[in-house]
Structure 1
Amino acid sequence: MALTAKDVDRFEAAMPRLEAVAYRLLGSVSEAEDAVQETFLRWQATDPHRIEVPEAWLTKVLTNLCLNQLASARVRRESYVGQWLPEPLLEGDPMLGPADTAEQRESVSFAVLTLMERLAPRERAAYVLREAFGYSHREIAGILEVGESAAQQLFHRARKHLAEGRARAEIDRAAARRVVEEFLAAATSGRTEPLVRLLTADARAIGAGGGKIPARAKAFEGAQAVATFLRGLFSPGPAKRALAGGSPGVYLTTANGGPAVVAVVDGRVVGIMCPEVTAEGIAAFRNQVNPDKLRRASARWAAADHGAPLFHAF
């Protein structure tokens, strides 16, 4: 049936929250946008006047669309060329959603988004709805169509799995930024030893190129291997400049609530590195270089002035 202007306004008012839920559930901007669009089509096909609580109805429809998407996404990601990583979002992007509490900020961190890929779809939904958006266990039970105790179990299992994957304590944002500044200085020194000192013994470096940009299929593991890789990554080379379309300007900014190193060529973001900084050192580097997963970041970057880069990578 045709929607009234008021019905459309209701949906548009709910869109920012729906997009933020979908992004946390799927880790992909395009998939999140598709899920929200499909939710609108379902809204359009129903009679909104018969829905007592539109927000609850929209959240339930969206969540179940995302659950279906996650099931099929697992199959697609198994055939993904190289490592699969979520899509990073730069600071201020409304799709990041609420960030008022530590729990909300953690639920959208790049490290947690990556770890959430290990969760069963319903565990992920229970965690996101509870931790990031404050839904009660009863409300989550209604959305997932399970009993309230089952919803509680899903949430607690999700938290346990995520805690196991993040055994080290993180440090505050300002301290993390200082560590990343030290890393950038070490990475451009041409020496491996300063880098090794900043890493945990079991540090890892993962790159996602999606078959569009060369990236190693297997992660680099161990401080020495990661430091050697990073030293090479920032060393000059004509092949690298040709691949990137120029010499990338390197900026230190924020993505998904944490420090991020952004590489930019002619106003276009060509890579985002998200270091995982812990009290023991940098435990992981997750590098997104797939151009399909940098389009939104590029658009937001081009819309603002970021000044001069810290340096040019190569």
Structure 2
Amino acid sequence: MSHPDQERDQRVFQEHRNLLFSVAYRILGTAADAEDVVQDAWIKWSAADRSQVADPKAYLARIASNQALARLRSARHQRETYVGPWLPEPILTSGDTADDVTHAESVSMAMLVVLETLSPLERAVFVLKEVFGFSHAEIAEAVERSEAAVRQAAHRAREHVQARRPRFTADRSRQRAVTERFLAAATGGDLNTLMELLSPEVTLWTDGGGKVRQALRPVVGARTVAAWFAAIGTVTYQGVEPGDMKAALVELNGGPGMVFSGPDRVIATVTFAFDADGRIAAIHNIANPDKLRAVSGGIAHDVRAC
């Protein structure tokens, strides 16, 4: 192949790279696996007879979906034998993602947790249809199923997600204000403010993956959860003294979140789901070091359909 052709093919691939990562991440819930899918797609794209490819975007999305679906099926067993709750891998997202409400919601930790309860096929179909607007016919080709099977899976997935998705989303400025207050209250040990910010039935999910000490079951109730976070400034955590711990407000998974760091590493991330009154209804706390690499890398992802 001539050099200009190679450059053009590389340029076409780079144009759709964000889309491929965005599809794969929502199907898999892990950034590392999504990056592997993008690399696999590049290898297949490089080897393909591109003179036969009428629509590069659809072609690449099909490869990525198929690869992600295969990886998800093989990952299911590992997730079933995981120590404690299995939560998705957090990613830093760009302001553009947060400004797009649909895409921000679809990549939120709360939504990814709901998607985790779908079958692999339902999850792939839901992501391609509801988030990225692919037609049933395009999805059928991507996941190698009949169009009728895809329609059924789409219907089941939509009903399942609607029954379980977080019902309320406080506006973005309210979410950020509550997150800022929570961060100040947690680092300052202010139990009363924490109680005020939490819904009475708040649930805290913690994922240490057996690598670090975390609660193996959800922690429920405002008082218990507030006490958990009020202790942050007073206890040594993962070998890091309170004085050496830094907490920062960042954008995680399309919304405001917190990153806790020691002198040489990211220790944990915290993200929130909000109720109708703008109080915190659910908290997802990820401390498994294997799941913090994407955040440690410091690269923000634009996970919109572009």
Interval of TM-score (by shorter of Structure 1 and Structure 2): 0.7 to 0.9
Question: CA offsets per residue over residues 24-60 of structure 1, 9 Å max, x none?
Answer: 1111111111112222222233322222323222211
2:88 match: 86
SS in 2 for 1:275: strand
**Is the 2:111–2:166 contact (alpha carbons within 8 Å) kept by the matching residues of 1?**
no
Q: CA deviation at 1:69?
A: 0.8
CA distance in 2, matches of 1:244, 1:286: 23
Query: What is the TM-score when the length of structure 1 is the normalising length?
Result: 0.84
Matches within 5 A, 1:270-285: 270-280=267-277, 281-285=279-283
Matches within 5 A, 1:212-291: 212-232=211-231, 234-237=232-235, 239-240=236-237, 242-243=239-240, 247-266=244-263, 268-280=265-277, 281-291=279-289
Cα 1:278/1:58, change in 2 over 3 Å: same
Matches within 5 A, 1:1-314: 4-5=5-6, 6-92=8-94, 101-166=100-165, 168-188=167-187, 190=189, 192-232=191-231, 234-237=232-235, 239-240=236-237, 242-243=239-240, 247-266=244-263, 268-280=265-277, 281-300=279-298
**Is the 1:104–1:133 contact (alpha carbons within 8 Å) kept by the matching residues of 2?**
no
**Is the 2:202–2:281 contact (alpha carbons within 8 Å) kept by the matching residues of 1?**
yes
**Is the 1:98–1:132 contact (alpha carbons within 8 Å) kept by the matching residues of 2?**
no
Which sections of structure 2, spanning at least 5 residues, go unmatched?
A: 301-306
Cα 1:253/1:227, change in 2 over 3 Å: same
Q: CA deviation at 1:231?
A: 2.1
Q: CA deviation at 1:246?
A: 6.4
**Is the 2:202–2:280 contact (alpha carbons within 8 Å) kept by the matching residues of 1?**
yes
SS in 2 for 1:287: strand
SS in 2 for 1:153: helix
* C-alpha RMSD of matched pairs (Å): 2.7
Letter in 2 for 1:44: S
Cα 1:168/1:53, change in 2 over 3 Å: closer
Question: CA offsets per residue over residues 255-275 of structure 1, 9 Å max, x none?
Answer: 111110111233643221001
CA distance in 1, matches of 2:299, 2:244: 17
Letter in 1 for 2:276: A
Question: CA offsets per residue over residues 210-257 of structure 1, 9 Å max, x none?
Answer: 23322121111222322222222x2313x3272479622111222111
**Is the 1:268–1:301 contact (alpha carbons within 8 Å) kept by the matching residues of 2?**
no
Letter in 2 for 1:54: P
Q: CA deviation at 1:98?
A: 5.9
